A and B are shown apart, each in its own frame.
Chain A
Amino acid sequence: MRVSSTPLASLLVGFAAILPTTLAVFQDEAFQNDWHIPLLGPSLRESTFFHRPLLDAKASLIYTLTERNIIAALHPKDGGIVWRHQLEACASKKLARAVEGVVVAGSCGNVKAFDAVTGKLAWENRFEGGNVKDFKSAGKEDAVVVLFDDGSVRMLEGGSGIVMWEWKGLDAKDTPYSISVTSDSVLVVSVQPEKTSNNMHITSLVLESGLPAKFSRDLRSSVESVDNILSSDALMAWTEDDFRILKMVPISGGRLSGENVKIPEGVIDIEVHTDSDNVALVHYKTADKSWGTAYRWDYEYGPVMSYLDIEEKPGADSTFSISKSGGQTFFVWSFANGEAFLYGEQGQLAEYSPKFEYKGNHITNAASEVITRSDGASYAVRSFISTSAPGFKGNTHLVRNGDLEWARKESLASVSVSTFAELLDPAAEKVANELNAEGHKSIGAAYVHRLTRHVQELIEYGPAWVSGIPVRVMDAFLNKEKAEIGGKWRDFFGYRKYAIVATEEGGLAALDIGKKGEIAWESNVLPIEGEWKGALGVYEVSKGVVAVVTKGGEYLEFDAFEGTMLHREKIPGCGTIKSSSTVDGIGRKLVLAVLKCGKVMVLPSGSPLPETVFLAVQDDAGHAKGLKVASSGKPEQTWVFNPPTGEQIASISTRPAHDPIASIGKVLGDRSVMYKYINPHLISIVTADPNGSTASIHLLDSVSGAVLHSATHTGVDTSKPIVSTVSENWVVYSYYGDDTIPGKTAAKGYHLVVSEIFESEQKNDRGPLGGAQNYSALAGETGEPFVLSQSFIFPGEITSLATTTTRQGITSHEILALLPEYSSILGLPKRMLDPRRPVGRDANPGEVEEGLVKYFPVIDADPRGMLNHKRELVGIKKIVTTPALLESTSLVFAYGGDLFGTRVTPSMAFDVLAKGFSKIQLVGTIVALGVGVGFVAPMVRRKQINQRWSNS
């Protein structure tokens, strides 16, 4: 087949678009049913600043680069995101600076410049070998000089990013620190470790050519320990002599002697803030108070001189920020209690009394902008302040002249695990409470209680209730929204649930997914002592109770509605916790934690397991193991799965905890049935060869360890994500396939494969087990199930797959695929991914009846199927789903970066009236019909009479 023309390609794309996309976002539901909290993550101090996007721009924007590698421009007025981009993730330093009209970001080996106004990429360049360590504007146009951590220095041309010159002359033993640019030279600061101390070098290069300067100022100064370097920007500052002396050396200066300052007694922390020129502020902190000293140095030769002492104030929890405007340097001192002070060259200029508080938060860093008002005596101060609380790092706030303007919950960008907590049914809870009260009373008292309850009900549903009926009917008729019930009471359709999320920093929060992600409560799971290692899992263990298992070995229970801690225990045993899961206990769920040494703990400790539990875990040697945990809690190994030679286990996925199957078979067009292979213990293991190009998927029974199905793909790029999701009797997975196997032709691109498992290949046949009521996976060979597979080509990378779940499982499924390139979550109807779609021919009437359409190898990323429609999702790692009370609806929550929630109806909203349903129109039609009948009735009567008379 040799097909080659654009019209054909577009035709094919067009064809793909005709495929059934039952799922789509309705215009009237977009932005109503879904919510999105765009997040950036904690801002980095050096890379957060106010900046005018254009020289003549009236207002400035806030630019920030965050720990989560997102560079963004924020509107200072409302905190809205003007633009943002996700950069490559790297462990190395990342930095953003403003350079005439663009904002330049360096991360990994990449330097990218973004247009400050629109956020479009102005230029970029990538380098291998070294990661960006520091860069500065070269002073003309938007050229920059970049220092890499392998010691090389490159000057990149503005507008194109092309390397103008490159210098690689740094001593191999030197660790580069920073770079400075003066009018004619480039100064590279590096530190070389010596026997007793470290030598600091400043190497000078000619700005024009990149050659070592004639009079190279290869100056030396000793640094006691590189860990004590506080600042390496325009001023190198470090502490020596056990935190007794602060040394400061301006990089642009000709001398390396610098200034030695004695650190006063009691100081426990020092922060050095520098602006890019020749001013630095040293912030001393003791346990309960802090003060600062401002220093200035002459650009070329001068020594470091202190020029302003900022007298001490109580409260060490504060930070300074420097702002330059109109040739003046201002210092803004912000306190955690909301207080702020403004200092100029001479001393204090303004004071802002505390009007709000960063509740329980510490100030970590700030960026400020100070503008002298036209009267020359008053100032407009805006500060962008980052705070951190235990478990929540990086929330940002904008304070304008001492007033809090807006705040962003950036700490939630690092949500790593979550669970859903069901809310309570108000009616059911009320009755349950009353009955409970009666149950605890004597017969007489219970009788009186019940009698009073009935009397109360009579009053409640009495004349007042009856007289209120018309109002209620009218309200329902006019679609008037009833006052929403809040708190722990669920709404009528069960759209409201709490998503209990744990952040990487150890915070625990409840988000109301029915109320656009509103935070219901915040708490933390940090250990009382010891190091925080991360949360392993959050589980809803009983009504209103959630449990958290931490990697450090703690088990905590929280009230899901209030956030109060109910229980806390140290998991006894050995070492860290490897994995955890839940099992049904008596009246509640129990948590099973698998310890590093192989022990299995039942939590809360002391609770008995009602029955034997089978677990599948991955061991350190790279095998999958089956564990049988008896009611005593003692584990016993049942099976071991060894991946094929050369391959390693990439992931293990199990069926969702809530995965009801409404029908045990699939009814075909000819009324025969294909029976589904239904196994609650179905797991899928993806194995991949990291050095080669094969990947396999294995479907196992996690009780017996029997391999039910295995498929190996060749020509797979194992460096790209291979993800899978299992539900009901099928598995869907995706990988990148390439045409790399000689003698075999293949397509290049992402593949999406679906495998469905049936009991037998024959229709109306239940396979070897027949209609057996019970069967044991351990009873021996029962024959292999029949697997049907089909592969599709997909246009983009999928980093996470999930499936919708509904209450009864009657509604068809939808596969949710996270597409980072499209910044979207795509919903694919399971019907589209059906391996029974007829290949190479049109569907026959029977198949059409089943809803099957002709197989087409390409599945397009149709924007109409994107759950987030025009919203742009950045940084999301995982999608989770939970059923609503309505069978048609599944609730979707996505986290890991941005937070996104929506509800989907894979088989359309068949059990609820659509928003567009007009009751007025319905009544209008009935009235019109009534009038019409009333009008026609006499005519008909007359006609009938006339007919009888004329016929006789």
Chain B
Amino acid sequence: MKFLLASLLASVASAFTVTGTFAPSPHLPNPALLPPTTSLTLTTSGTTARTLISTSNGFTFHNISAGSYLLDVACPSHHFAPLRVDVAGNGDVSVHTTFRGNEWSNLGEARPYPVMLHAIKTADYYVVREGFNPTKLLANPMILVAIVSLVAIVGLPKLVDKMDPELKAEFEESQKKVGAAQANPLGGFDVASFLAGTSKPATPEVKQSGKGRKN
């Protein structure tokens, strides 16, 4: 019965049109770039009206009867948010923001008519496979820490060796103090003994004196 009434209404007062445009947005500065297959649908129970984007970057639905519609845009290159479009019995069109799953009785924020459509996202089709990338590997914080510590282990003693003897003595003195104050776990790390499998690393004192003399 209801459907009969609806179809009757449709045949009597169905000359309404719903129009709108694709507006520029940060994701889509030039709507003319949208592909010609960009399609729009107005749906409600019993009706599905479809149209395509036009050469003037707009759209027009012809022959729409009064009712409350969901406007969806299917576009291969961009995403658009759905809108609620209400066509009143006298042909007045009101547009509201909506979101999927919204209770239909909840009206969203009112929007101007003719409808303005803004792209909210560009469509990404592909996932790029994570390949081996040396620069990315070097950017890894763990690798950076390892490199810095390696430089410290290898480079520092040589730097100390090249220092003025007095300054060197002073530095070693301060180092001992610092070392005694707080044992830096990284500073005391010995790559060689670690690789050799020695369970407890040599003490900082032993290591420093050993290195200083024998190398």
Contact = CB atoms under 8 A, between A and B. Distances in A.
Interface in A891-950: 914, 916, 918, 921, 936, 939-940, 943-944, 946-947, 950
Contact of B108 (A3, A122, A719): A3
A425 interface: no
Given A24-B126, A857-B101, A83 B36 contact: yes
Instruction: Tell which of B54, B68, B105 has the most Cβ of chain A within 10 Å.
Output: B54
Given A119-B36, A940-B192, A872 B76 contact: yes
Given A10-B121, A83-B36, A128-B14, A4 B109 contact: yes
Interface string B1-31: 0110000000100100000000000000000
A746 B104 contact: yes
B126 A13 contact: no
Interface in A861-890: 861, 863-864, 866, 869-870, 872
B131 A916 contact: yes
Nearest to A792: B101
Given A4-B97, A121-B55, A739 B103 contact: yes
B52 A85 contact: yes
A27 B127 contact: yes
Contacts of A213: none
B72 A748 contact: no
B153 interface: no
Interface string A683-717: 00000000111000000000000000000000101
A745 B104 contact: yes
Interface in A103-117: 114-115
A127 interface: yes
A178 B37 CA distance: 31
Contacts of A914: 129
A483 interface: no
B99 A869 contact: no
A118 B210 contact: no
A115 B55 contact: yes
Interface in B75-100: 76, 79, 81-82, 96-100
B52 A869 contact: no
Interface string A75-96: 0000000010100000000000
Contacts of B210: 946, 950
B81 A863 contact: no
A693 B45 contact: yes
A564 interface: no
B126 A30 contact: yes
Interface residues of B, number: 65
B37 A936 contact: no
Nearest to B75: A822
A821 B74 contact: yes
A361 B69 CA distance: 49
Contact of A717 (B45, B108, B126): B45
Interface in B155-174: none
Contacts of B81: 6, 9-10, 13
Contact of B52 (A120, A745, A748, A918): A120
Given A2-B106, A28-B129, A121 B45 contact: no
B84 to A, nearest CB: 8
A125 B61 CA distance: 8
B184 interface: no
A566 interface: no
A12 B97 CA distance: 13
Contacts of A715: 45
Contacts of B196: 940, 943-944
A3 B103 CA distance: 10
Interface string B99-125: 111111111110000000010110111
A123 interface: yes
A58 B108 CA distance: 52
Contact of A746 (B100, B103, B129, B198): B103
A869 B36 contact: no
Interface string A1-24: 111111011101110000000001
A112 to B, nearest CB: 8
B202 interface: yes
B177 interface: no
B63 A128 contact: yes
B126 A27 contact: yes
B192 A6 contact: no
Nearest to B70: A748
A125 B60 CA distance: 9
Contacts of A27: 126-129
A30 B125 contact: yes
A872 B126 CA distance: 15
B149 interface: no
11 contacts: A3-B106, A4-B107, A9-B81, A13-B120, A27-B128, A120-B36, A128-B63, A747-B101, A797-B41, A858-B99, A872-B76
6 A-B pairs closest in CB distance: A739-B104, A4-B108, A4-B109, A27-B126, A24-B127, A738-B45
Interface of A: 1-6, 8-10, 12-14, 24-28, 30, 83, 85, 114-115, 118-128, 161, 691-693, 715, 717, 719-720, 736, 738-740, 745-749, 793, 795-797, 819, 821-823, 857-858, 861, 863-864, 866, 869-870, 872, 914, 916, 918, 921, 936, 939-940, 943-944, 946-947, 950
